[in-house]
A and B are shown apart, each in its own frame.
Chain A
Amino acid sequence: DQQVKQNSPSLSVQEGRISILNCDYTNSMFDYFLWYKKYPAEGPTFLISISSIKDKNEDGRFTVFLNKSAKHLSLHIVPSQPGDSAVYFCAASEGGGSEKLVFGKGTKLTVNP
């Protein structure tokens, strides 16, 4: 059974608008969440993370929101740029670190000029 779910395989937005990528999890022991960005033929690169003691973390154009009661997190990209077009993976772990990550299936974001 999938412990981390990204139910939207793809998302298309216009340049300058907001992109919202969603992620749900089922394991209540997860306490650390990360978003990775992946371009074709490259390895995933870290984007932003959030600990379960917080409900929001910002880094420039990227903000991650965590709703522990709903077991839901989302990544907001504002404003979206064509270079943001990539596959975004949500990942989670137990124990507060980035070890033994459990990944979602990914959402392919396309930002149209």
Chain B
Amino acid sequence: NAGVTQTPKFQVLKTGQSMTLQCAQDMNHEYMSWYRQDPGMGLRLIHYSVGAGITDQGEVPNGYNVSRSTTEDFPLRLLSAAPSQTSVYFCASSYTRKAPHATDTQYFGPGTRLTVL
């Protein structure tokens, strides 16, 4: 069981470039989400998904797109990177609260450190 994996670990972009942060989980979790963490801040929810084909916005969605074509994968796309998007990005997954085998926590990946120049 690899858990939640994220690639790349580090990335440097120039303003205006686009890129996709990859996230995958092998625990058959329905729920997946993306957070960003900035210095001195807690994690803030960007987007989330309760299952394949279903996504919704979190607290700070502007500048990011997501899609969920499979249960395992939940990529995060930056369409036109800005310096304000310099951050550490964490992907997480869990069973949904309605699942009979729901656990009580989300499992986080190791993070992607993104710098936008």
Contacts and interface: CB of A to CB of B under 8 A. Distances in A.
Contacts of A36: 108
A45 B108 contact: yes
Interface stretch (A13-21, A61-69, A71-79, A100-108): A100-108
A97 interface: yes
Interface in B87-113: 90, 92, 94, 96-97, 102-111
Contacts, number: 71
A30 interface: no
A43 B44 contact: no
B111 A43 contact: yes
Q: How large is the interface on A (under 10, 10 to 19, 20 to 34, 35 or more residues)?
A: 20 to 34
Interface residues of B, number: 29
B45 A100 contact: yes
A98 B105 contact: yes
Given A43-B4, A43-B90, A96-B97, A101 B45 contact: yes
6 contacts: A43-B108, A43-B109, A96-B97, A99-B106, A103-B42, A105-B40
Interface of B: 4, 31, 33, 35, 40-45, 48, 50, 58-59, 90, 92, 94, 96-97, 102-111
